[in-house]
Amino acid sequence: MKKFWVVLSLIFITQLTNLNVFAETLPEYHKALMTAYKNENWTEMSTISDSVIKYYPKSKFGYFFKGLALDLLGDYKSAIKYYSAAAKLAPTVPDIYQNRALSYLHDKQYDKAVADYDTALKLDPDNKLAQEQREYAINAKRGFIVTTQGNITNYQSVYDPFYLAAEYKNMPQTKKDEYINSVKNYSDNILPIYYIAVAEDLFSSDKNLAAFLYAAGRFHAVQDAAVCKDTSAYQAINILPEVAPDTSNYIANMSDSELANLLQKVLDWDEKHSNRPDPKWICYHGMEVFTNNGKVRTISNIKFNSKKAYARKILLQYVKKLEQNK
């Protein structure tokens, strides 16, 4: 199974349905919206859509493109609301359900995505893109994605750290900013992989902050891997530098004194952040997570606190050793 940054998944497809479906409705607005779409100016699309909704409140056209703009801006829940408004005005247009399904996919509401694809396919049975996306939604719900490259089939858990890192990398900037702010505020519900991915984003502007976020994320990743039944979770720890190469190289070139100070800060921070998200983000790394029927195995019930204490003990010993070398 390939474990790289780039995961070409349907979750971030921007090749949507037939955008000319409303071409005969308010043609001047349609032309302006299509220009904004081709220029990838999602904010302009949103603004034009607001005008359509204001002056033509009973037109499905404005709500559809507003939903599309919001989805492309990363505001999936709001996009769903506007697509739903369009569906009420035009319940027999399959493109609306297909686009709303894609927003549900982005928002990881897989059951609702499948239901919308079913509706779209009922209205348009020959829609191959909807068929492919529906299959993807079903696989994502089961906990893995299937990609093909030539004659090779790759299975990858949707919780795999490198899938999550690629997901972050491909997010719209507005969505990235939400993660960056959460990480800067040391939110307890943010997965360690996002600390590492954000660290690389911030490296050019603040190397010290990036180094801390990377070290903190890696330390929590080690703790999470300790409770995994899948032994390949430890392999992921060794590949994490691929997610943030500049930051990891910066840390690798620190003096013993600098590294000791950094790791002590991580230990102090870790002591204040005991609430943790589900460790499956790294436990579901590698092929060992899959059984023969494609379902994801459960995580071991080993008590997390004992593993956390052990990890802290090992890191503290390492810090003391570094300090002795000063």
Identify the pLDDT of residue 293: 43
Between 150 and 80, where is the model more confident? 80
Q: What total of structural domains would you count in the chain?
A: 2
Query: Does residue 55 sit in the same domain as residue 104?
Result: yes
Give the CATH number, domain containing residue 103: 1.25.40.10
Q: Is the pLDDT of residue 296 over 60?
A: no
Identify the pLDDT of residue 288: 52
Average pLDDT in the chain: 77
Distances from the Cα of 131 to the Cαs of 13, 62, 109, 137, 138, in angstroms?
Answer: 14, 26, 17, 10, 11
Spatial distance between the Cα atoms of 225 and 284, rounded to a whole number of angstroms:
10
Query: Does residue 313 sit in the same domain as residue 166?
Result: yes
Spatial distance between the Cα atoms of 299 and 61, rounded to a whole number of angstroms:
47
Spatial distance between the Cα atoms of 46 and 69, rounded to a whole number of angstroms:
5
Cβ contacts of residue 46 below 8 Å, gap of 6+?
Answer: 66, 69, 70, 73
Q: What is the pLDDT of residues 35-79, one digit of tens each?
A: 888 888 889 999 999 998 998 888 888 899 999 999 988 899 999
Spatial distance between the Cα atoms of 85 and 229, rounded to a whole number of angstroms:
45
What is the CB neighbour count within 10 angstroms for residue 175? Answer: 17
Spatial distance between the Cα atoms of 271 and 131, rounded to a whole number of angstroms:
48
Identify the pLDDT of residue 149: 47
Alpha helices in the chain (DSSP H): 27-38, 42-55, 60-72, 76-89, 94-106, 110-123, 128-142, 161-169, 173-184, 192-202, 207-225, 233-239, 245-252, 256-272, 280-283, 304-324
Query: Does residue 116 sit in the same domain as residue 198?
Result: no
In the structure, what pLDDT confidence band is assigned to residue 105 with cuts at 50, 70 and 90? confident
Burial class from Cβ neighbours inside 10 Å (0-12, 13-18, 19+) for residue 205 reads: exposed
Residue 326 tokens, joined: 């000063």
In a domain, residue 31? The reply is yes
Q: What is the pLDDT of residues 201-226, one digit of tens each?
A: 999 999 999 999 999 999 888 888 77
Identify the pLDDT of residue 89: 93
Q: Is the pLDDT of residue 178 over 60?
A: yes
In the structure, what pLDDT confidence band is assigned to residue 143 with cuts at 50, 70 and 90? low
Query: Does residue 104 sit in the same domain as residue 214?
Result: no
Task: Give the domain range for residue 319.
Answer: 161-324
Between 114 and 321, where is the model more confident? 114
CA angle at 296 for the pair 292 and 301, rounded to the nearest 5°: 120
Q: Is the pLDDT of residue 282 over 90?
A: no
Between 241 and 140, where is the model more confident? 241
Q: What is the pLDDT of residues 3-43, one digit of tens each?
A: 222 222 233 333 344 555 554 556 778 888 888 888 888 89
CA 189, distance to chain mean position in Å, is 14
Between 276 and 293, where is the model more confident? 276
Spatial distance between the Cα atoms of 280 and 298, rounded to a whole number of angstroms:
9
What is the CB neighbour count within 10 angstroms for residue 221? Answer: 24
Query: Does residue 133 sit in the same domain as residue 219?
Result: no
Query: Does residue 135 sit in the same domain as residue 165?
Result: no
Q: Is the pLDDT of residue 145 over 70?
A: no
Domain boundary among 108, 142, 176: 142
